[in-house]
Amino acid sequence: MNKQNISIVISLFNEEKGVIHFWNSLESVLISMPERSFELIWVNDGSTDGTQRLIDEIRKEKSLNNIKNISIEFSKNFGHESAMIAGIDNASGDAIICIDSDGQHPPAEIPKMINAFNEGNDIVLMQRLERGDNSYVKKKFSKFFYQIINYLSAIKFEENSTDFFLVSNRIKVILASNFRDRNRFIRGFIQSLGFSKSKLSFSAPAREYGESNYSYLMLLKLAFNAIFSFSNKPLRISVLLSAVFILFTLGMIGYTLYTYLNGTSAPSGYNTIIIFMSASFSILFVTLSILSLYFEKLIQEMRKRPIYIIKQKND
């Protein structure tokens, strides 16, 4: 009987300080499951430190009977989502697990994820209950993000779901064939497919090595990508604002004509004009901003630039 093969996609960007510690944690979990074989796909997202050198050392020196190491190095930094996509594209396992190498996705949870997969689930989501080094601002930002996207989108996303997840090989095929968006939100993609799924909870420890590569600006960009990938409501809201403003404008025109035809002079309107002009331009700029964001995403998709470029791959 063939062993069940599990692919594990590990995304890395400037993780020189923590990659060996992560590998030691992961290795101890994998060798406890000799009945399975594991394909580890290390995706170096254009690191500028010694991350690739350490990956090569792991690949050459840490070869175990049930573990195969594969290294993928990008030509430059394409982003975390692109790294996950590249790993999933190159995975051959019965199931694929995506995990970050910063130590905040505990490898100890992997056996539970595999068990959930073997119970018949094509998707296993990992929901973070708490994070050891999360600031108050980031917690509120995360909560607000899920409230907004669940309001705007027809799909209801699991709050605090993460990029630590498992998908079956048939989900991998669907992602590779149909979800090649340049503006990606993979944890959203997999929740939108409708296949059987399970949800597990975990606590993320504080990061021990290095610093987070996700700035507030990057988190904001990810939030916009998610909203504009899964909802057209901002467009409809802009149409509604425009309609309300048109009605308000027609009302003012009607009032002006009425006072003129009846020979009564309208009251002094300097303040009214200033308020009216300020409000109208504010609504106009909001509407144009929403349209511009959608237009930008559309142009990016039409260009069909590569999601990632592989500089080197070593099996």
Q: Mean pLDDT for the chain?
A: 83
Calpha distance 82→64 (Å, rounded): 28
Count of domains observed in the chain: 2
In tens, the pLDDT along 144-161 reads 777 777 777 777 777 778
Domain co-membership, 191 together with 248: no
Asked if residue 179 has pLDDT above 80, the reply is yes
Domain co-membership, 127 together with 155: yes
Q: Domain holding 52: CATH number?
A: 3.90.550.10
Domain co-membership, 128 together with 242: no
Domain co-membership, 11 together with 151: yes
Domain co-membership, 158 together with 268: no
Please report whether residue 271 resides in a domain: yes
Domain co-membership, 191 together with 255: no
For 29, 117, 146, 210, 214, the CA distances from 103, given in Å and listed in that order, are: 14, 23, 24, 10, 15
Please report whether residue 223 resides in a domain: no
Asked if residue 201 has pLDDT above 70, the reply is yes
Measured torsion, CA atoms of residues 111, 226, 313, 36, in degrees rounded to the nearest 10: 10
**72: helix, strand or coil:** strand
Asked if residue 272 has pLDDT above 70, the reply is no
Calpha distance 156→149 (Å, rounded): 8
Domain co-membership, 103 together with 157: yes
88 versus 232: the higher-pLDDT residue is 88
Q: What sign has the CA pseudo-torsion 42, 193, 147, 281? A: positive
Going by pLDDT thresholds of 50, 70 and 90, the confidence category of residue 171 is very high
Q: Which tokens in the block code for residue 161?
A: 């779901």
Please report whether residue 111 resides in a domain: yes
Domain co-membership, 16 together with 159: yes
**Residue 266: domain span:** 233-303
Going by pLDDT thresholds of 50, 70 and 90, the confidence category of residue 234 is confident
Calpha distance 159→147 (Å, rounded): 8
Please report whether residue 159 resides in a domain: yes
Domain co-membership, 73 together with 207: yes
Domain co-membership, 310 together with 286: no
Asked if residue 134 has pLDDT above 80, the reply is no
Domain co-membership, 202 together with 241: no
53 versus 283: the higher-pLDDT residue is 53
Phi, psi at 68, each rounded to 5°: -120, 130
**What per-residue confidence (pLDDT) applies to 295?**
79
Which residues, other chains included, contact 87 with Cβ-Cβ below 8 Å and sequence gap of 6+? Answer: 7, 9, 10, 11, 41, 43, 72, 96, 98
Please report whether residue 32 resides in a domain: yes
**What per-residue confidence (pLDDT) applies to 212?**
61
Domain co-membership, 23 together with 164: yes
In tens, the pLDDT along 62-103 reads 556 789 999 999 999 998 889 999 999 999 999 999 999 888
Asked if residue 133 has pLDDT above 70, the reply is no
Please report whether residue 205 resides in a domain: yes
First-to-last CA distance in the chain?
25
For 129, 177, 207, 223, the CA distances from 101, given in Å and listed in that order, are: 19, 27, 10, 22
Please report whether residue 167 resides in a domain: yes
Percent over 90 (pLDDT), the chain: 39
Please report whether residue 226 resides in a domain: no
Stretch 130-140: mean pLDDT? 66
